[in-house]
Amino acid sequence: MRCKDLRCEAHVIKKLVTIFVLSVMTLAPLRLSFAGKGSGPGGGTEQFSLGDLKLCITGISPDGDYSLQFSKGEQVLVTGECAFKTHEPKTFRNMPLPNCRTLMTYCFSGGAHCCTTLFIATECGPGRSLDMVDLAHTNGRVKLTDADGALGKMIKVHDWQFAYYGTEDSQIQFSFADSPAMTRLLVFDNGHWRPDRIGEFSRFYSRLLRQTMHEARISDRNGNTEQTASLAIKAAYYSLMSGKPVEKSAEVLSQLFPTRWRPESAKIIQDIHQAASEFNPVEVVR
């Protein structure tokens, strides 16, 4: 997939820098840091804890900027600078499983459409973990949900890999408003959160597929070409996630696509399959 928008390119560059920093961390004690502004007006620290994991949030400017730090004892696990607070940290009891606890906090970078990181500290039995989730353009709270056959609660997130999407050598490209953002699930597995896998929750995605196909047909009748194309991509994505073969998902795409998008179907279904297969916004911190 190719970026044709400067904001898209900036987001991709930011993700590459994050990957580089995290790869370096594998060679040293796990620590992610951002340039500090120091204390000043708007200071004051809030503290939260989950067993031996501590979260400190310190105001650093009158505009609402603050620093965030997770630590265990004297060891700093991760720090970051955040723009104005979008949501207060919150602890969920019996989440993801009975007798477990989960502390969630958000860090918004500021700027148009970008970017939010979710930190999830989880205590289940004797183990405690800390995971970092790239929510990309999402600025609302994540939602908890159940799915058929799953143990405990899961977290709904969005796959934004098709933001500003356009194919090679084509004038077809989505605006941000029309860009499809597909629902995905984070599952607590082996002590950490991970994205769900293709076919893992077939009934959940089959329901999303039916709903999205219905919305695409209404959009097509109303003459909303870009929105219809966006919904067609979402439907094909959900078809794949429900466990259907690529050929069936390609049929869904072609069936719903507006006429001028159809010549691009073969390339787009490849990008959809790649996006669904490679989606992984989670980085393990501890």
- 237 exposure class (CB count in 10 Å sphere: 0-12, 13-18, 19+): buried
pLDDT of 43 reads 60
pLDDT of 161 reads 95
Q: Name the pTM for this structure.
A: 0.83
Query: Could you give the CA distance from residue 247 to residue 136 in angstroms, rounded to a whole number?
Result: 30
Cα 35 to Cα 47, 68, 78, 90, 136: the distances in Å are 21, 12, 13, 26, 21
Q: Is the dihedral of CA 15, 21, 23, 26 positive or negative?
A: negative
Work out the pLDDT band at 274, boundaries 50, 70, 90: very high
Residue predicted with more confidence, 28 or 14? 14
Residue 39 has pLDDT above 60, yes or no: no
Residue 113 has pLDDT above 70, yes or no: no
pLDDT of 171 reads 72
pLDDT of 102 reads 97
> What are the phi and psi torsion angles at 92 (to 5°)?
-105, 125
Sheet with 182-189, strands from edge to edge, namely 143-145, 154-159, 182-189, 192-195
What is the rounded radius of gyration, in angstroms, for the C-alpha atoms of the chain?
A: 20
Cα 123 to Cα 2, 144, 182: the distances in Å are 40, 17, 29
